[in-house]
Structure 1
Amino acid sequence: MRQLLGGEGGGLSAEQLEQLSQITGQNVDPAMMQNIMGHLKSAFASSGEIDWEQTRRGALHIANQDGLAITTGQRGNLDQAYALATLWLSEATAISQLAAPPRAITRGEWVEATLPVWQELAEPMATSIADALTTALSDQAPDDMQNLVQGAGKLMRGVGGALFAGQLGQVVGNLSKEVLSGGDVGIPLMPDGDSAVLPQNFADLGASLEIPDDQVALYIATRELAHARLFRHARWLRLHVISQVTEYAHGVRVDTDALEDLASRFDPSEPEELRSALESGALLPPRSETQNAALARLENLLATIEGWVDVVTADATARLPAADKIAEAVRRRRAVGGPAERALNSLVGLELRPRRMREAAAMWRTLTSAVGAAGRDSLWDYPDLMPTSADIDDPAGLVARLEATARGDEPATDDIDDAFARLLAGDMPSAATGGETPDGGADPDDEPGSPDDHRPV
């Protein structure tokens, strides 16, 4: 093994392949064996950590397969689309424009820009799979083989992590062929304040709808700018979304029964069965109640964001002849999801298609009609002002509260508000003063000589 794994460049010579064929009594496919040795060498050399560089290489390999570059004409068209979209959005929303100009990017550039967020989202699941695979191997081994298993556990952890990293690279690489812009997935993947469009991808959308590319570019640019403006204005929102996603991801666990069954027959030189289990989602057990609650919160949050973007984009592109047709196509894409989104769901159990987006858009439309764009957009100023799931269900109640606030009416109070108001007014005894009233006198309820006079403080 030292000779096989320690050769120059980690490769096998023709003489080594011939010796291996003689040992096994079978013909050895050089390409297959080099691939196996590469996996084994990487696993032995691994410290047990996930090799995210493997994810990056795999994603870039897929993203750059077509070798398509952004032409000068495409850049010029997008520059014009961005300029017009900026003017239209200034009429549709009170949120200010971006400090940095938007840009047209390739699929490979999208992978490079978004990979840090993908790594953050996928790391809990990758670690869970690697740990569970190692634990399953240790639990199945007899006591007299535990020392051997400890060494093999590193190999299993390395192989499991490498396969997950490679599979995530395929998902991100394939997703780069589907997304239209930086905010198309729904979560803030791009760096803060950055906006981008992938002209390589929306040509197919325009062709399927029989709509000129310049109209598609203008609509996609407007939507992307609205998304980026929102996250730049509400700087707390990015962290809020990412924390909701990671909260859900940390709750994802591996089906140990399925994994133990897989580990009992796992061969590191033939990792296809583990790869297939990762692809199909077979290692993910049914969601727990905690996960369902976290997923519901995440879906409502994404729906609230996407609903606002839908309404603002519709208002801004009202002059665009094919705006409604393009908007419906974009909503269908989000509702159905592409192959890469489905693969991401199988890999980490994360659904990025908010089912309540239409209801959230209806709420924002109601707010716009009632209080105007400025009143609507003011709800993004602070986290505690953002509409809740109950507001999506009852937009009229939210409108009533906003209108009451605009009139200067006092908001309705609850028991906690009333108790806090009494405490501030001095109507309630303070525990820190040992039952004294704020004016320094004794509490009238405490009679002299009573046992309460000697109670410990």
Structure 2
Amino acid sequence: MGLYHSVRAVAGASGDGPIDWAAVAEAAKESTEPGDLTVSEAEQSGYATDVRDARDRVRAVGGIEFDLPETVEIQHRHHWIDANIETFRRVMAPIEQQAEMVPGVARVVNTGSMAFTLSFLANNVLGQYDPLLLADGDEHALYFVRPNIQRVAEQLNVDGDRFRRWIAFHEVTHAAEFGAAPWLSEHMETAMEDAIENLSGGSLDRESLGQLDTTMTAVEGYAELLMDRAFDDEYDDLRAKIDARREGRGPLAELVRELLGMRMKRQQYERGKAFFDVVADARGVAAAGRVWESPDHLPTDAEIEDPQLWIDRIDP
């Protein structure tokens, strides 16, 4: 394992398409330490208990019905890469179909960029609810990247079990959203496919991208609301330490996060949380959950900025 083998995998990218996905997987894993996955029975039981407790608390507080994914996995970083590479491949497929033949140099650059992205994310993702967008069927999954959870808990100097439980609650809130709104996956897929199809044709579909951003703002904001109201412990200290850690990142890490859209995701968190806090304070958490009754109940961008407009429209 090492940088040399990763570079060699990228340099050997082959095929006719713009990305050699086998080389992406090999290069990403060669440049990423998998991390320890020695899980004791007590720790495994702890993960299971955290997920079940999160489900029960979110059901009770949110007033919504949903089931946990059948797939709940404790992973190391290579497992996470394997689980996500097919998602990346599905998302990129429309663009690849528009560029069946590309020069070898471009293929190497594309393959290297994708490998770098997966490696960076694999080293930073703590947990993930994966609705498996653009996949056949209605599968979904829940992943915990144990080496990253342990590393960050140590860096923050917080109790590992408590930090793991906090991550479990956050990811289960996303499972709640997609479980309460069976239409949500298709709604996001349609906006994503429209945007990608237009992008592959050389145009930027601002309407579809805007719709996707607004939907993701609702998804992230509602999850934050449920975390605040459902988590069964104080966590202001965790928030403060994570915010301080985020502010302390170096310029290179910040640049990478900017390029990968992570700053946009943080803005979605903040805007969405502000919206749902106003709604929940005015009408209760259950009323905020009405956002998942149908696509028409999603807030518009204007309503996110002025939640009273949404309240007047949906729950006057």
Distance 1:59 1:162 in 2: 14
Deviations 1:377-417 (A, max 9, x none): 1220211111111211121122233343xxxxxxxxxxxxx
Q: Is the 8 A contact 2:134 2:189 kept in 1?
A: no
Which one has a bigger Cα radius of gyration? 1
For 1:374-385, list aligned pairs within 5 A: 374-385=286-297
Structure 1 stretches of 5 or more lacking a match?
1-30, 132-153, 256-287, 405-457
CA gap of 1:350–1:225, structure 2 versus 1, over 3 A, is closer
Q: TM-score, normalised by structure 1?
A: 0.57
Give the aligned partner of residue 62 of structure 2. Answer: 93
Distance 2:140 2:34 in 1: 29
Matched, 1:396 2:308: yes
CA gap of 1:332–1:165, structure 2 versus 1, over 3 A, is farther
CA gap of 1:385–1:327, structure 2 versus 1, over 3 A, is same
Give the aligned partner of residue 364 of structure 1. Answer: 276
Give the aligned partner of residue 196 of structure 1. Answer: 143
CA apart distance, 1:233: 2.3
Q: Is the 8 A contact 1:335 1:353 kept in 2?
A: no
Q: Is the 8 A contact 1:226 1:309 kept in 2?
A: yes
State which of 151, 159, 165 in structure 1 corresponds to 2:111: 165
Distance 1:189 1:69 in 2: 30
Distance 1:125 1:320 in 2: 45
Distance 1:344 1:389 in 2: 24
Distance 1:223 1:366 in 2: 20
Distance 2:107 2:300 in 1: 38
- Alignment-mate amino acid for residue 37 of structure 2: A
What SS does the corresponding residue of 1:355 show, helix, strand or coil? helix
Matched, 1:102 2:15: no
State which of 144, 164, 188 in structure 2 corresponds to 1:241: 188
CA apart distance, 1:176: 0.7
Give the aligned partner of residue 27 of structure 2. Answer: 58
CA apart distance, 1:250: 4.4
What SS does the corresponding residue of 1:102 show, helix, strand or coil? strand
State which of 83, 91, 113 in structure 1 corresponds to 2:83: 113
Give the aligned partner of residue 47 of structure 2. Answer: 78
Distance 1:111 1:176 in 2: 6
Distance 1:182 1:226 in 2: 11
Structure 2 stretches of 5 or more lacking a match?
none
Q: Is the 8 A contact 2:225 2:273 kept in 1?
A: yes
CA gap of 1:212–1:98, structure 2 versus 1, over 3 A, is same
- Alignment-mate amino acid for residue 36 of structure 2: L
For 1:388-427, list aligned pairs within 5 A: 388-404=300-316
Distance 2:85 2:25 in 1: 7
Deviations 1:334-378 (A, max 9, x none): 89999689548648x897525243232122122223332332212
CA apart distance, 1:218: 0.8
Aligned length: 306
Distance 1:220 1:98 in 2: 18
Distance 1:121 1:101 in 2: 21
Distance 1:342 1:254 in 2: 28
What SS does the corresponding residue of 2:284 show, helix, strand or coil? helix
Give me the identity figure in percent: 20
What SS does the corresponding residue of 1:195 show, helix, strand or coil? strand
What SS does the corresponding residue of 1:182 show, helix, strand or coil? strand
What SS does the corresponding residue of 2:236 show, helix, strand or coil? helix
What SS does the corresponding residue of 1:178 show, helix, strand or coil? coil
Taking CA–CA contacts closer than 8 Å with sequence separation of 6 or more, which of the two structures ends up with the larger relative contact order?
2
For 1:51-450, list aligned pairs within 5 A: 51-63=20-32, 65-72=33-40, 73-99=42-68, 100=70, 102-123=72-93, 157-183=103-129, 192-252=139-199, 290=204, 294-317=208-231, 319-321=232-234, 323-328=235-240, 342-343=255-256, 346=259, 352-404=264-316
Distance 1:215 1:56 in 2: 33
Q: TM-score, normalised by structure 2?
A: 0.79
CA gap of 1:104–1:230, structure 2 versus 1, over 3 A, is same
CA gap of 1:224–1:296, structure 2 versus 1, over 3 A, is same
Q: CA RMSD of the aligned region, Å?
A: 3.9
CA gap of 1:70–1:90, structure 2 versus 1, over 3 A, is farther
Q: Is the 8 A contact 2:34 2:77 kept in 1?
A: no
- Alignment-mate amino acid for residue 21 of structure 2: W
